[in-house]
Amino acid sequence: MGRILLIGRLAVRDLRRRPVEAALLLLAIMAATTTLTLGLVLRDAADDPYQSTREATSGPDVVAVADRPAGLSGLEELAGAPGVIDHSGPYPVAPAKLQASGRTSDVQAVGRDAAPASVDQPELTRGGWVSEGGVVVEAAFAEALGLRVGDPVTLGGRAFEVVGVAVTAAVAPYPQASCIVAVGCASGATPEELSRLPPGLLQTPGLVWLTRADARSLTSDPGSLAHVMNLKLAHPDEARAFVGAHLSKSLDAPRLESWETIREDATEPAEDAQILLRMGAWLLGLLAVASVSVLVGGRMAGQTRRVGLLKAAGGAPGLVAAVLLAEYVLVAVIAAAAGLAVGALAAPLLTASGAGLIGSAGTPSMTPSTIGLVSAAALGIAAAATVVPAVRAARSSTVVALADSARPPRRTGWLIAVSARLPVPLLLALRITARRPRRAMLNVASIAVTVSGVYVALVLDAFLTAGPPAGGYGDAQAEPLRRVLLVVMVTLFCLAAVNAVFITWATVLDNRRSSALARALGATPGEAGAALAAAQVLPALAGAVAGAFPGGFALFHAINAVTGGDSGRATLPPLWQLLALVPATVLVVAALTAVPALLGGRRPVTETLQAEPA
């Protein structure tokens, strides 16, 4: 117990001795834990609006669709099947084209009774229910088309008036709507894919409700009508099993869909937002490891004498390593708690229910698994960055540590030989880079991760901007995803910027003596400052190239592999964007590092050489 107290006390004292570094460490880890929390809680939070809609509309547990008139008998059998306690329909469904405000869209027109149904009675958000010549439009579809109550529309060549806007839990909101017409649907297909599909398919259809008579009037061939029936089960949790038990290979047999499947479709945008956040959490986690490694490296270098004192006072290597690790574990625990709190508070801002569902996103649930995963990630980041330097410090010689000897720089002979042919700033920059190859690699990795994130953001932005049918999302669905993407990218940029400044400052401190010496031997302050800045820009260039070309592409395909996405539907960034990304990254890094580098290049030579050991 005494030993643990001692370790805790020493760790807290050292953190309080350097509050700015401790705060930066905390921020770096917190950025990753917050994003991870958002990713984990979003799924649960996004389910709430569907549940609210299901309750408000007396949503069905199973939706059955008969594509042919011969399937109507199958629907009647299902209505009487064991476990079914209620049903509505069958209702006729006709494929049609809807024209409004100069736009034409495919729709699935469902013929409904004017009287309310006991199962799936769409909840009106505006206006009234179906009447002769009056059409009710599904809310997400109405929003995508900008339709309001009272607007005139043409449906199958006939004039109608929008009499209401409603939500339902029987079909996922536009553009995720399930296909309930006989001719079939192609949702989210690219123009190239559409050209290969049979003609007559509805492209990303919307959903409208009419009277039964109006729906039947949309087609001259009654045999082309499909019929849909909504079933209520005694045990809704067994909906999937019910669907499995009534599967049939017959073409005339009804197609069945459980409410869980509809919910998955309805919450797909939220699921995509969750994927975005998890991707962001991974990228931020990698950046956080780089940030923490640089910070820890800097702190460890400053703690050499402290390690020597601890050892001289009788501390065993194990105690020394434990003290050093305890500091970062403590920061990681605080960062995990802060990340969980901020993530839980921010999640509702990113989970708007969308036009197709009612109710708010609700309070995200903070499950033990979320808390465990976020804490493990924070501790993992701290451990990954700390274990090696802590063990190295613990195993160092007491005498050497007490003398506070600087860690000798690395020698990279070929780089020194190559640099001799370059102008003075580049000569010094290459030698600075070669002195600390691990830090240079962290710099390259940090920039490559950020640029890879930008690559994926460019792909996703193009995907979201394309809109249906290419993108598969309407503006209403794309907006929350754009918000999530913005949050992830802003956090990524902030952490990358902090990283660049950290690394530059660590380089400046580490090269105080060599910069001063170069100036004593004839380099100007400008050349010394330019060398320090160039020492950051060279890895930034390598990182930008690695991130823009193989890195971004690989990350995008890795995300697709993990999420089961279809990369064929995405448009990769054009070459000019990638080529522009490289100099833009280098310029940003140069701007970020210029101030600390120039300050480093102007330190007084005499003072530095007198203060720094040879």
Partner 1 sequence: MWLNGRRIDDIGERALARMRRTAVGFVFQSFHLMEELTAVENVELPALLAGRSPRAARRRAQELLERVGLDHRARFPPSALSGGQRQRVAVARALSNEPSVVLADEPTGNLDSAATLDVLRLFDGLHESGQTLVIVTHDARIAATADRLISMRDGAFVDETRLTGGTTGRLGALAGLED
Query: In this complex, which beta carbon is closest to partner 1, that of residue 311 or of residue 431?
Result: 431
CA distance linking residue 282 with residue 389, whole number of Å: 23
Residue 313 contacts partner 1 per CB under 8 A: no
The residue range among 74-82, 270-278, 421-429, 492-500 that interacts with partner 1, by the rule CB under 8 A, is 421-429
Residue 416 contacts partner 1 per CB under 8 A: yes
The residue range among 96-104, 245-253, 328-336, 408-416 that interacts with partner 1, by the rule CB under 8 A, is 408-416
Q: Return the axis-axis angle of helices 512-520 and 525-546, rounded to nearest 10°.
A: 130
| Minimum distance from residue 610 beta carbon to partner 1 (Å) | 9
Q: Which of 337, 424, 554, 594 binds partner 1 (CB under 8 A)?
A: 424
Q: Which of 80, 157, 368, 408 binds partner 1 (CB under 8 A)?
A: 408
**Closest residue by Cα to residue 372 from 44, 32, 40, 46:** 40
Q: Which of 116, 184, 526, 583 binds partner 1 (CB under 8 A)?
A: 526
Residues 6+ apart with CB under 8 A from 194: 186, 201, 203, 469
The residue range among 123-131, 461-469, 495-503, 515-523 that interacts with partner 1, by the rule CB under 8 A, is 515-523
Q: Which of residues 257-286 bind partner 1 (CB under 8 A)?
A: none
For CA atoms 519, 523, 526, 532, the dihedral sign is: negative
Query: In this complex, which beta carbon is closest to partner 1, that of residue 334 or of residue 599?
Result: 599
Residue 410 contacts partner 1 per CB under 8 A: yes
Q: Which of 88, 178, 507, 514 binds partner 1 (CB under 8 A)?
A: 514
Query: In this complex, which beta carbon is closest to partner 1, that of residue 83 or of residue 409?
Result: 409
| Minimum distance from residue 442 beta carbon to partner 1 (Å) | 19
Q: Are 103 and 111 in contact (CB under 8 A)?
A: no
For CA atoms 137, 358, 371, 452, the dihedral sign is: positive
Q: Which of 185, 518, 537, 592 binds partner 1 (CB under 8 A)?
A: 518
Residues 6+ apart with CB under 8 A from 176: 187, 265, 266, 268, 269, 477
Q: Which of 13, 395, 411, 438 binds partner 1 (CB under 8 A)?
A: 411
The residue range among 190-198, 224-232, 423-431, 587-595 that interacts with partner 1, by the rule CB under 8 A, is 423-431
**Closest residue by Cα to residue 592 from 504, 490, 495, 489:** 504
Q: Are 120 and 59 in contact (CB under 8 A)?
A: yes
Q: Which of residues 218-247 bind partner 1 (CB under 8 A)?
A: none
Query: In this complex, which beta carbon is closest to partner 1, that of residue 102 or of residue 522?
Result: 522
Strands (E), 172-211: 185-186, 202-203, 206-211
3-state DSSP percent of the chain in helix, strand and coil, to 5 = 65, 15, 25
Measured between its terminal Cα atoms, the distance across the chain in Å is 43
| Minimum distance from residue 605 beta carbon to partner 1 (Å) | 9
| Minimum distance from residue 392 beta carbon to partner 1 (Å) | 18
Pull the structure tokens for residue 560.
Answer: 């697709």
Residue 520 contacts partner 1 per CB under 8 A: yes
Residue 421 contacts partner 1 per CB under 8 A: yes
The residue range among 96-104, 116-124, 412-420, 578-586 that interacts with partner 1, by the rule CB under 8 A, is 412-420
Q: Are 562 and 456 in contact (CB under 8 A)?
A: no
CA distance linking residue 265 with residue 173, whole number of Å: 8
Query: In this complex, which beta carbon is closest to partner 1, that of residue 27 or of residue 609?
Result: 609
Q: Are 378 and 338 in contact (CB under 8 A)?
A: no
Number of residues that bind partner 1 (CB under 8 A): 29
Q: Are 172 and 139 in contact (CB under 8 A)?
A: no
Residue 598 contacts partner 1 per CB under 8 A: no
| Minimum distance from residue 524 beta carbon to partner 1 (Å) | 4
Q: Which of residues 428-457 bind partner 1 (CB under 8 A)?
A: 431, 434-435
The residue range among 138-146, 263-271, 418-426, 570-578 that interacts with partner 1, by the rule CB under 8 A, is 418-426
Residue 329 contacts partner 1 per CB under 8 A: no
Residue 614 contacts partner 1 per CB under 8 A: yes
Q: Are 193 and 93 in contact (CB under 8 A)?
A: no
Residue 561 contacts partner 1 per CB under 8 A: no
For CA atoms 542, 545, 550, 556, the dihedral sign is: positive
DSSP string, 428-488: HHHHHHHH-HHHHHHHHHHHHHHHHHHHHHHHHHHHHHH-TTTS---HHHHHHHHHHHHHH
Residue 409 contacts partner 1 per CB under 8 A: yes
Does the bond joining 613 to the residue before it have cis omega, within 30 degrees of 0?
Answer: no
The two beta strands, 185-186 and 202-203, are parallel
Residue 311 contacts partner 1 per CB under 8 A: no
Residues at the site binding partner 1, with contacts judged by CB under 8 A: 408-412, 416, 420-421, 424, 427, 431, 434-435, 513-514, 517-527, 609, 613-614
